[in-house]
Amino acid sequence: MAEYKITVNDTLLSNLLTGDRQGLGELVESVLNQMLEAQAEESRCANSSGL
């Protein structure tokens, strides 16, 4: 199983803690983007080692 290190900036964290509804959407977007980037990098590494 893969592990992900999710980073959250100060603004996003503040929005989450103040109950801003947009903050949750931003968190989900950030997490999904970071997961997709990690998977793309993993795929590139796997493809380059298989050549």
Model pLDDT for residues 31-49, shown as the tens digit of each residue = 899 889 988 988 988 888 7
In a domain, 28, yes or no: yes
Rounded to two decimals, the pTM is 0.66
In a domain, 37, yes or no: yes
In a domain, 29, yes or no: yes
Q: How far apart are CA 51 and CA 37, in angstroms?
A: 22
Q: How many domains does the chain have?
A: 1
What is the residue type of 14? S
Looking up tokens 């970071």 gives 34
pLDDT reported for residue 48: 84
In a domain, 3, yes or no: no
Give φ, ψ of 33 to 5 degrees: -60, -45
Segments forming the whole domain that contains residue 43: 10-49
